[in-house]
Amino acid sequence: GVPVALALTGDPHNWHAWWWFSDVLALVAFVVFALFVSVPHVGKDVAAKKERETGQRQHRPASILLEGFKVKRMWLFGLGFCFLMFTSLSVLTWVPTYVQEIELNRLLADGVALADAQASAGVSGGSMASLGFAASIPMALVTAFLLGKFQTIKARNVMVVIAGFCAFFYVGAFLIPYEYLPYYLVLLGLESGWTSGVVWSMVPVTMPKRVTMPIGMAIIIFFQGISNLLCTPVVGYVIGEAQVWTNVAPLCAVTAAVGTVLWIVYVAMKPPVFEENESEGGRADEITAAVEDRLPAA
Q: Indicate the pLDDT class of residue 198, thresholds 50, 70 and 90.
A: very high
Q: Indicate the pLDDT class of residue 28, thresholds 50, 70 and 90.
A: very high
Residue 47 in contact with residue 61, Cβ under 8 Å?
no
Residue 297 lies in a domain: no
Q: pLDDT: is 14 or 287 the higher one?
A: 14
Kindly list the distances between the CA atom of residue 250 and the CA atoms of 216, 239, 245, in Å, as whole numbers in the listed order.
31, 11, 11
Measured torsion, CA atoms of residues 89, 92, 98, 103, in degrees rounded to the nearest 10:
-170
Say whether both 9 and 154 belong to one domain: no
Residue 266 lies in a domain: yes
Give the pLDDT of residue 8: 83
Say whether both 91 and 239 belong to one domain: yes
Say whether both 118 and 187 belong to one domain: yes
Domain stop point among 40, 59, 78: 59
Q: pLDDT: is 198 or 43 the higher one?
A: 198
Across the range 241-251, mean pLDDT stands at 92
Is the model's pTM score more than 0.85? no
Residue 172 per-residue DSSP state? G
Say whether both 142 and 39 belong to one domain: no
Say whether both 115 and 11 belong to one domain: no
CA distance 212 to 127: 40
pLDDT for 285 beyond 70: no
Give the pLDDT of residue 63: 63
**Residue at 121: amino acid letter:** A
pLDDT in tens, 94-150: 988 898 888 888 888 888 887 777 777 777 777 788 888 889 999 999 999 999 888
**Residue at 100: amino acid letter:** Q
Q: What is the CATH number of the domain that holds 237?
A: 1.20.1250.20
Across the range 181-190, mean pLDDT stands at 92
Say whether both 49 and 86 belong to one domain: no
Domain stop point among 33, 59, 85: 59
**Residue at 159: amino acid letter:** M
Q: Indicate the pLDDT class of residue 188, thresholds 50, 70 and 90.
A: very high
CA distance 238 to 246: 9
Give the pLDDT of residue 40: 61
Say whether both 146 and 53 belong to one domain: no
Across the range 177-185, mean pLDDT stands at 91
Residue 296 lies in a domain: no
Range of the domain at 192: 67-270
Residue 188 lies in a domain: yes
CA distance 123 to 11: 9
Residue 213 lies in a domain: yes
Say whether both 76 and 182 belong to one domain: yes
pLDDT for 292 beyond 70: no
Say whether both 77 and 26 belong to one domain: no
Q: Indicate the pLDDT class of residue 282, thresholds 50, 70 and 90.
A: very low
Query: Which residues, 6+ apart, have CB-to-CB distance to 19 below 8 Å?
Result: none
Name the domain count of the chain: 2
Say whether both 19 and 121 belong to one domain: no
Say whether both 123 and 100 belong to one domain: yes
Give the pLDDT of residue 57: 66
Residue 17 in contact with residue 134, Cβ under 8 Å?
no
pLDDT for 67 beyond 90: no
Q: What mean pLDDT is reported for the chain?
A: 83
Residue 160 in contact with residue 265, Cβ under 8 Å?
no
CA distance 198 to 95: 24
Query: Which residues, 6+ apart, have CB-to-CB distance to 110 below 8 Å?
Result: none
Residue 290 lies in a domain: no
Say whether both 36 and 86 belong to one domain: no
pLDDT for 290 beyond 80: no
